Amino acid sequence: MAPHPEPGVFLERTSYRRRRLVDGLKVLPLLGAWMFMMPLLWSVDNTTMSGALVYIFIVWATLILSAAVLLVWLTRLRRASATHTPQDVL
Amino acid sequence: MTSLNGLVAICLTYVALLFFVAFLAERAAARGQGGWLSAPIIYTLSLSIYCTAWTFYGAVGYAARSGMEFVTIYLGPSLVMIGWWWVLRKLVRIGRSQRVTSIADLISSRYGKSNSVAIFVTAIAVIGVTPYIALQLQSVTLSFSVFAEMDENSAPLDPGNSAFWVAFGLAFFTLLFGTRKLNTHDREHGIVTAIAVEAVVKLIALLAVGIFVVWGVAGGLGDMMARIDASDIGAWQVDRARWATLTALAGMAFLCLPRMFQVLVVENDNDRQLHMASWLFPVYLMLMSLFVVPVAVMGLELTPNANPDLFVLTLPLTLGQDGLAVLAFLGGFSSATSMVIVASLALATMVSNHIVMPIWLASRDQGATVSGDVRNVVILSRRLSVGVIIALGYLYYRYSGGSAALAAMGLISFAGVAQFLPAMLGGIFWRGATRAGALVGLAVGFAIWVWTLLLPSFGPDGVLPKSVLESGPWGLSWLAPSALFGIEGLDRMVHAVWWSLSLNFLAFWVVSMFTFPRPLERLQGAQMVNVFEHAGAAQSWSVTAAESEDLLIMAQRILGPQEARDLFRSEAKRQGLGASMAEPTPAFLQRIERELAASVGAATAHAMVSQIAGGPGISVQDLMAVADESAQILEYSNQLEVKSAELSRTARELRLANTKLTQLSVQKDAFLSQISHELRTPMTSIRAFSEILRDTDVLNVEDKTRFASIIHDETIRLTRLLDDLLDLSVLENGQVTLNRQQGTLGKILDRAIQSAHPSGPDPLTIQRRIDLEDIVLDTDLDRLTQVFINLITNARKYCDADKPCLRIEISSKKNQVFIDFLDNGAGIPESDQAVIFEKFSRLGDSDGSSAGLGLAICSEIMERLGGCISYLPDTGGTGFRVTLAKVHTFPVQ
């Protein structure tokens, strides 16, 4: 980020990014549901319990991590632009 | 080996510790040092009451029986939390802005603060959750009995007895720390902190057992994985329908369980709490379920005959890890107690606000205006409700036999409270949802839930006879509880959840579509659906018959004397009234209602305020102002109003124009007939005399001359008439060009009198004031002379006095000159005064020498000259006044 960005460009990019991050937050649970329903497609013969266990927990952790990252990012953007725009997206 | 007595001692020590922590938190909050109490981390930990003893112990048992399926109970809430932007964000915002006290309060508040909705929701919640409380008592009792069995010295435990003491202890703790404050939004710091501690304890306990199992018993992760695959549950077997249904059900129940609603929505202070919980709570859930399968597999391997539900306890005990077992016991104990405390508090708030208080208020004839503090009544009713609910849980445990029927109760309870979802989500996302829709939806869902899930859960011949369970009542197989509409082969849970929720949704939607909401419902609907657009509350009070004193008395009863006075003082300051009493404005009524609602719920608060304010008067404007669709309608109607005003204005103008045209047409007809008459008279005589001249041979010169001069006179008259007509037409059409000149009034009058002078002797004497006539006029002098000539000629012609005399008087005022022509004749009758300036109006002119156009022409001329001519009544004769603008006031040198 430039040390003295032009307010117009800065604002524009920030609010755009913020909206996309909110889009991400909205899609995340749907993505999660899709991933969690994946085991329903597995065949009984080729799947081990340990594999299923690992899959579920990896998906779970990834989902949580993504949610946290998106939120932290969003909060930072909001703070960065809080001085410029009164509108509060969060 | 820890003895049972030792365990009881540890347990009591733990409880004492919790008391101490709660006490410290209360003290810190009282001293104003409680900022950390609303930290997001505390909020997140308080959500952990989702993990009850049923999940603490039961998850392992569940995994031992059906493999991975247990995880769905955690996946649903994780998805709901991760998707907080969709539902929770709105829910907590509404919870804060509407000061919601419970899920029943939210739903009733949405549907027009209807108490019937609140009572219905409360009843379903009590029926659905009481067995769940029984389940907690059972799990604590079971965990005690595990230790009792291992302890050779102690007598076998009486489960009923120990359950009683557990219930008693829980009720005591809840009453001591949970019902101190009336306002449900003032957090019960003691309870919240104790629950946060318990959340940490149960997580550590389960993780400790898990780590011990994986790294202490099994040989690390790899070995554990191999053991899992080799175990009874090692094959991947999942009931697909159950997997999807339970994930969804857990997510829905997470939102609808009264205790979850309490910690998620009611106790939420700010969005920051939700932000952190949105990812941290899923982490908590994930950690809680991380070691469930390993513990289950190890339990199955090492103690195949033990109750899988208690593997968490029996595994450490069997392996001689007493300390770990005690920790696990405390974890389970924590899960059970925190759940019972919050659930009973949440239910007690609902029961007290929506059932006890309305009845108590109604039973008092004095209504809401009577003085006296009712805070104690509210708190007492809440305390009694806590006691009753825990007692109900205990009784349920005693009489259900505490067996397998109870173990299934967790999911059944989930399905029961999930019935709130259509009314709740529909209410906050859809403006069209109505009270009738919510009630019918709830009733349908509840009935199906009772029929397909609750009643069959008591087993064959428990409540329903076996025959009914299998083939439906009265042999109606399509009503069989396990195969509604003849669809068989579904899992009982899937079947019940599917039918109850889908028909609930359908009924809610259809009834909402075809019913009409009351004004308050529409107002609340707009408020909640558009909660992010409307920061403030809409006014639901417009006219008030309320007295400030009555309001103060009522507010004192619920809020307390000091708080109520503070509220009134701040409102008076806000209204700019200084030290005097706040005015009962609609905004203030709204504020009072909101404050009351935080203590006794929206429906009761609304009822109390309306007792004083004389019913809510929601004006159409209020509704329209908050409603988008109504705002559009308002705009359209405004536009229509403007258009219609425009139309009516145009119509009025058209009507006027039409009248004018009609009048003109009548005038034109009259004028034409008049003019033909005027022309005809001289023509007739000209024709007659010219015929005589032509046809008569013998005519003496005298006659010939006489006839010819008649013809001549008539021709002159005709010419004059046509000249006048032409003149008038030119004047009327505005085609006349004025020949502006300057001249004094005296000179103009001289010329006029000279021109009007007859050839013979003049009987008319004219009196003038020469000294006043030195007024300079800037106008068309010829035309003005024409007017004067006309007036003088008229006086000469019509003045019937013996000695006719015409006075010409001059006066001036400001910039106007008045020239009055006054004779001493008979004057003009009043009835004729109006028409003398009309064309062809002739008064007493019997000889026909005048066409009656003179004054009409004068009037037209004066108008062109920027002045006017009028008749002066009551002058002792006939008087005309000519008004003109003057340019110079000084006499000409």
Q: What digits encode the pLDDT tens for the residues B546-577?
A: 667 777 777 777 777 777 788 888 887 777 76
- In this prediction, residue B541 carries a pLDDT of 58
| Residue among A29, A40, A53 whose CB faces B82 most closely | A29
Amino acid at B326: V
B186, B219, B546 from B352: Cα distances, Å: 17, 55, 27
Confidence of residue B534 (pLDDT cuts 50, 70, 90): low
- Torsions phi, psi for B778 (to 5 deg): -115, 95
Mean pLDDT within B384-407: 77
Residue B300 contacts residue B232 (beta carbons within 8 Å):
yes
Å from A74 to nearest chain B CA? Answer: 11
Partners of B743 in beta bridges: B777
Is pLDDT of B436 > 70? yes
Confidence of residue B371 (pLDDT cuts 50, 70, 90): very low
Is pLDDT of B540 > 60? no
CA–CA separation, B863 and B533 (whole Å)? 64
Å from B36 to nearest chain A CA? Answer: 21
Mean pLDDT within A32-47: 83
The answer for B 553-572 residues in CB contact with A (under 8 A) is none
Q: Which are the contacts of B669, defined by CB distance < 8 A and separation ≥ 6?
A: none
CA–CA separation, B763 and B824 (whole Å)? 13
CA–CA separation, B267 and B187 (whole Å)? 6
Confidence of residue B300 (pLDDT cuts 50, 70, 90): confident
* B772: exposed, middle or buried (Cβ count in 10 Å: 0-12, 13-18, 19+): middle
Instruction: Give me the residue label for tokens 């129940």.
Output: B253
Q: Which are the contacts of B191, defined by CB distance < 8 A and separation ≥ 6?
A: B22, B174, B177, B178, B341, B342, B345
Sheet arrangement for strand B879-885: B765-768, B805-813, B816-823, B879-885, B868-871
- Exposure letters B153-183 (e unless 16+ CB within 10 A, then b): eeeebebeebbbebbebbbebbbebbbeebb
Partners of B780 in beta bridges: B740
- In this prediction, residue B791 carries a pLDDT of 87
A-B contacts (CB, under 8 Å): 96
Q: Between chains, do B68 and A44 touch, taking CB under 8 Å as contact?
A: no
Is pLDDT of B203 > 80? yes
**Joined tokens for residue A33:** 């549901």
CA–CA separation, B651 and B668 (whole Å)? 25
**Residue-averaged pLDDT of chain B:** 81
- CB of B220 within 8 Å of a chain A CB? The answer is no
Instruction: Give me the residue label for tokens 């068989």.
Output: B488
More confident residue, B608 or B124: B124
Residue B64 contacts residue B311 (beta carbons within 8 Å):
yes
Q: What is the ipTM of this complex?
A: 0.84
| Residue among B83, B84, B235 whose CB faces A49 most closely | B235
Taking contacts as CB-CB distances below 8 angstroms, the residues of chain A near B278 are 67, 71
- In this prediction, residue B156 carries a pLDDT of 62
Q: Between chains, do A64 and B275 touch, taking CB under 8 Å as contact?
A: no
* B127-179 tens-digit pLDDT: 888 888 888 888 888 888 887 777 666 566 676 677 888 888 888 878 876 66
Partners of B884 in beta bridges: B817
Highest-pLDDT range among A19-23, B29-33, B437-441, B869-873:
B437-441
Q: What percent of chain B has pLDDT over 70?
A: 87
Residue B309 contacts residue B362 (beta carbons within 8 Å):
no
What's the sign of the alpha-carbon dihedral B314, B318, B324, B326? positive
Is pLDDT of A89 > 70? no
> Which residue from B minimizes the CA distance to A50?
B225
The answer for B 793-812 residues in CB contact with A (under 8 A) is none
At residue A13, the 3 state secondary structure works out as helix
- What is the DSSP code string of B815-867? TEEEEEEEESS----HHHHTTTTSTT--SS--S----S-HHHHHHHHHHHTT-
At residue B812, the 3 state secondary structure works out as strand
* B676: exposed, middle or buried (Cβ count in 10 Å: 0-12, 13-18, 19+): exposed
CA–CA separation, B817 and B745 (whole Å)? 10
**Joined tokens for residue B785:** 């002379």
Is pLDDT of B630 > 60? no
CA–CA separation, B243 and B491 (whole Å)? 11
Q: Between chains, do B83 and A57 touch, taking CB under 8 Å as contact?
A: no
Q: Between chains, do A90 and B271 touch, taking CB under 8 Å as contact?
A: yes
Q: What percent of chain B has pLDDT over 90?
A: 12
CA–CA separation, A60 and B73 (whole Å)? 13
Taking contacts as CB-CB distances below 8 angstroms, the residues of chain B near A75 are 275
Mean pLDDT within B503-512: 94
CA–CA separation, B262 and B188 (whole Å)? 12
CA–CA separation, B854 and B728 (whole Å)? 9
CA–CA separation, B785 and B858 (whole Å)? 10
Amino acid at B469: L
Question: How far does Cα B666 stand from its chain's mean position?
Answer: 60
CA–CA separation, B856 and B839 (whole Å)? 5
pTM for the full predicted model:
0.68
Confidence of residue B512 (pLDDT cuts 50, 70, 90): very high
Å from B529 to nearest chain A CA? Answer: 18
Q: Between chains, do B68 and A39 touch, taking CB under 8 Å as contact?
A: yes
> Which residue from A minimizes the CA distance to B248?
A33
A16, B32, B194 from B24: Cα distances, Å: 47, 12, 10
- In this prediction, residue B402 carries a pLDDT of 56
- What is the DSSP code string of B285-316? HHHHHHTHHHHHHHHHHH-TTS-GGGHHHHHH
Q: What is the H or E stretch that residue A64 is in? A: helix A49-82
Question: How far does Cα B114 stand from its chain's mean position?
Answer: 16
CA–CA separation, B758 and B754 (whole Å)? 9
Is pLDDT of B364 > 80? no
Confidence of residue A5 (pLDDT cuts 50, 70, 90): very low
Q: Between chains, do A57 and B271 touch, taking CB under 8 Å as contact?
A: no
* B604: exposed, middle or buried (Cβ count in 10 Å: 0-12, 13-18, 19+): buried
**Residue-averaged pLDDT of chain A:** 77
Helix, strand, coil percent content, chain B, rounded in steps of 5: 70, 5, 25
- In this prediction, residue B211 carries a pLDDT of 92
Mean pLDDT within B325-354: 87
At residue B766, the 3 state secondary structure works out as strand
- In this prediction, residue B155 carries a pLDDT of 62
| Residue among A44, A50, A75 whose CB faces B225 most closely | A50
Partners of B879 in beta bridges: B822
CA–CA separation, B709 and B715 (whole Å)? 9
A37, B725, B787, B790, B866 from B856: Cα distances, Å: 101, 10, 10, 11, 16
Q: Which are the contacts of A58, defined by CB distance < 8 A and separation ≥ 6?
A: none
More confident residue, B32 or B784: B784
- In this prediction, residue B892 carries a pLDDT of 40
Is pLDDT of A3 > 60? no
Which site among B66, B75, B285 would you substitute to test the A interface, given the most A Cβ atoms closer than 10 Å to its Cβ?
B75
Q: What is the H or E stretch that residue B882 is in? A: strand B879-885
- In this prediction, residue B253 carries a pLDDT of 92
**Joined tokens for residue A57:** 């927990």
Which site among A50, A57, A74, A90 would you substitute to test the B interface, given the most B Cβ atoms closer than 10 Å to its Cβ?
A50
- What is the DSSP code string of B352-363? IIIIIHHHHHHH
- In this prediction, residue A9 carries a pLDDT of 53
More confident residue, B742 or B893: B742
Q: Between chains, do A39 and B229 touch, taking CB under 8 Å as contact?
A: no
* B81-123 tens-digit pLDDT: 998 889 898 999 888 888 788 898 899 888 888 888 889 999 9
* A41: exposed, middle or buried (Cβ count in 10 Å: 0-12, 13-18, 19+): exposed
Residue spans of alpha helices (H) in B434-518? 435-449, 466-471, 492-514
What's the sign of the alpha-carbon dihedral B235, B236, B240, B242? positive
Which site among B41, B227, B232, B236 would you substitute to test the A interface, given the most A Cβ atoms closer than 10 Å to its Cβ?
B236
Q: Between chains, do B247 and A61 touch, taking CB under 8 Å as contact?
A: no
Show the CA angle centred on residue B478, arms to residues B475 and B482, nearest 5°. 100
CA–CA separation, B470 and B366 (whole Å)? 55
Confidence of residue A1 (pLDDT cuts 50, 70, 90): very low
Confidence of residue B284 (pLDDT cuts 50, 70, 90): very high
> Which residue from B minimizes the CA distance to A55?
B68
More confident residue, B845 or B690: B690
- In this prediction, residue B152 carries a pLDDT of 65
* B810-828 tens-digit pLDDT: 888 878 888 888 888 888 8
Confidence of residue B500 (pLDDT cuts 50, 70, 90): very high
Residue B497 contacts residue B415 (beta carbons within 8 Å):
yes
B624, B638, B649, B652, B654 from B643: Cα distances, Å: 21, 8, 10, 14, 16
Which residue, among B825, B827, B819, has the nearest Cα to B881 in the 3D structure? B819
More confident residue, A1 or A71: A71
Highest-pLDDT range among B278-282, B465-469, B610-614:
B278-282
* B216-227 tens-digit pLDDT: 888 888 888 888
Q: Which are the contacts of B818, defined by CB distance < 8 A and separation ≥ 6?
A: B810, B811, B812, B881, B882, B883
Q: Which are the contacts of B366, defined by CB distance < 8 A and separation ≥ 6?
A: none
Query: Half-sphere exposure of residue B266, counting CA atoms within 13 Å on the CB side?
Result: 34
CA–CA separation, B743 and B312 (whole Å)? 127
Confidence of residue A64 (pLDDT cuts 50, 70, 90): very high
* B579-593 tens-digit pLDDT: 667 777 777 777 777
| Residue among B236, B244, B290 whose CB faces A48 most closely | B236
